Structure 1
Amino acid sequence: MTTVLETRNLVKRFGAFAATNDVSLKVEKGARQALIGPNGAGKTTLINLLTGVLEPTSGSVILEGQDITRLPSHQRVRRGIVRTFQINQLFNELTPLQSLALTVSNQLGISGRLWQALGRDERVAQRCDELLKQFHLDDVQDQKVALLAYGKRRQLEIATALACNPRMLLLDEPVAGVPEGERQEIFDIVNALPAEVTVLLIEHDMDLVFNFARTVSVLVNGALFAEGDVKSIASDPRVKSVYLGEGTPHG
């Protein structure tokens, strides 16, 4: 297996508090890996370190063998690390088609003439059509984002991330805030992501985690607490105690 993303002894301190504490994590090529942990475990801090939103106090982040610890976020995106957010970062006044056209055009280096490209560049039109169908957005492609059901907005955010052609896709709680009746469509979409895209999923919804992941990493109090396949993690009494609040502090 080829390691796509790796952290080595990653530490992030805020004063005396260690939000991440000596985290060494590997994500292999094509992985379907989940990062779970109770509230306050340090999951979002770790993702912010991986994507360059935060700089570590010590330790390193390695992408495909290259140290990217000090690279800014936009350079990491160019190298293939793309994320979604717990709270979507979409433009409410655009439509799904326009949102995807903006991203696809930027990837093709023609974002300066977006509106012309949307109508005339066959590459943009074709890729947008593929993404709209893949993410079940073709029936709402011309509606403003502000008017979309929340589940559809989450689908659009994942579609926009995939339009960036990621090598490493970080999905930060993709069903957070999504009504129960809209979750299955997101489950199906996440499960159907291209096999060549390596995915690290950060999620509280255990149905999604155990339906999607082949490897599960558990973070507690900023440290890597347990790691293994879905069956071993689901049956681990130490992991159960973390989620039930028995014995192990939540942090």
Structure 2
Amino acid sequence: MTDTVLCATGLVMRFGGITATNNVTLNLKRGARHALIGPNGAGKTTLINLLTGVLTPTEGRIELLGEDITTLAPYRRVARGMVRTFQINQLFDSMTPLETLALVVSQQRGMAGQWWRPLGASRAVVERATQLLEQFHLGDVAQQQVKHLAYGKRRLLEIAIALACEPRVLLLDEPVAGVPAGEREELLQTVAALPADVSVLLIEHDMDLVFSFADRMTVLVNGTLLTEGDPDTIANDPKVKEVYLGHGEAIHV
């Protein structure tokens, strides 16, 4: 069994005369806590869109669990175990977190055609949904409509939905972006406690979160892989410091 769950090799993405991703190779190990960082305009979003199937690369290859998924549709990648938080962040405002998670769990278990059944009709579905609510600190708002949730709680629900899809690879796209300071700690603790068997690729500008979470980091600049290594190596790399200082941003541990 290979130790690499997600392998992107030589990815190139051109939009007309612009090369947004330039020969990027990235390997995500089993159980990884891997961060993808870089200043604004580095190409992080383009790379994630390639990995998740929103875009098809001009050149290169992507493998998930040893299977070539380079041209596979996004929903088929989800079915094979790759889930991105922003891919499923269209929350139903009129539903509650319990109803939302029960719906996702039902779909994951092949019961989507039974949506008309009462919520409590499947004990296993309700038990799994309730477990996720507790794991993501949503038990106290389980019966509130999503539109009334604090922003931090909505972010927690998005990650809970992603985990309800039973991912092998989870792409967390800036999970604390826009979350008020008072709601961040709960979110940070939840991200830190994600299951060890789920390989996580974190895309984030918040360096406190990046350095507290990641055991490996990849740095992108202008669509090109600048360097990769453990957090200490990255924090002390003069090339990385120069890039961040040059963009008016700070990198620190």
TM range, smaller chain: over 0.9
Q: Which residue of 2 aligns with 1:34?
A: 35
- Aligned position for 1:94: 95
In the TM superposition, what whole-angstrom CA distance separates every residue of 1:123-149 from its partner, at most 9, and x where no partner exists?
A: 101100110000000100111111100
TM-score normalised according to structure 1 size: 0.95
> Structure 1 CA distance, aligned partners of 2:137 and 2:222?
38
Separation in 2 of the partners of 1:138 and 1:181? 19
Distance 2:160 2:102 in 1: 11
Instruction: Give the letter for the 1:227 counterpart.
Output: E
- Report whether the alignment pairs 1:105 with 2:139: no
What is the Cα deviation at residue 88 of structure 1? 3.5
User: Counterparts of 1:4 and 1:94 in 2: how far apart (Å)?
Assistant: 34
Give 1:115 shift: 4.8
Indicate if the aligned counterparts of 2:8 and 2:63 stay in contact, CA closer than 8 A.
yes
Q: Distance in 1 between matches of 2:183 and 2:239?
A: 32
- Would you say 1:44 and 2:45 are equivalent positions? yes
Post-superposition offset of 1:19: 0.9
Q: CA deviation at 1:244?
A: 1.2
Preserved contact between residue 86 and residue 174 of structure 1 (Cα < 8 Å): no
Aligned length: 247
Q: CA deviation at 1:117?
A: 5.4
**1:117–1:77 CA distance, 2 compared to 1 (3 A):** farther
Match of 1:163 in 2: 164
Which whole-Å CA distance do the structure 1 matches of 2:201 and 2:178 have between them?
A: 19
Shift of 1:236: 1.1
Match of 2:138 in 1: 137
| CA distance in 1: counterparts of 2:219 and 2:99, whole angstroms | 38
Quick one: distance in 1 between partners of 2:174 and 2:87? 5
In structure 1, the partner of 2:251 is: none
Counting only pairs closer than 5 Å after superposition, residues 201-220 of structure 1 correspond to structure 2 as 201-220=202-221
The DSSP-based 3-state class of the residue aligned with 1:188 is: helix
- Structure 1: tracts of 5 or more residues without a match: none
**1:200 paired residue number:** 201
Confirm or deny that 1:221 pairs with 2:202. Answer: no
Letter in 2 for 1:217: T
SS of alignment partner, residue 153 of structure 1 = helix
Aligned to 1:59: 60
Kept in 2, the 8 Å contact 1:86–1:176? The answer is: no
Contact 1:83 1:161 in 2 (8 A): yes
Give the match for residue 151 of structure 2. 150
Aligned mates of 1:201, 1:2 — CA distance in 2: 19
Contact 1:20 1:45 in 2 (8 A): yes
**CA separation of 1:19 and 1:246: change in aligned 2, threshold 3 A:** closer
Deviation at residue 160 of structure 1 after TM alignment:
0.1
User: Identity across aligned pairs (percent)?
Assistant: 64
Instruction: Indicate the residue corresponding to 1:235 in structure 2.
Output: 236
- Which ranges of structure 2 fall in alignment gaps of 5 or more residues? 249-253
TM-score, normalising length: structure 2:
0.95
Per-residue deviation at 1:187?
0.7
For the residue of structure 1 that corresponds to 2:200, the secondary structure is strand
What is the CA–CA distance in structure 1 between the aligned matches of 2:139 and 2:67, rounded to whole Å? 38
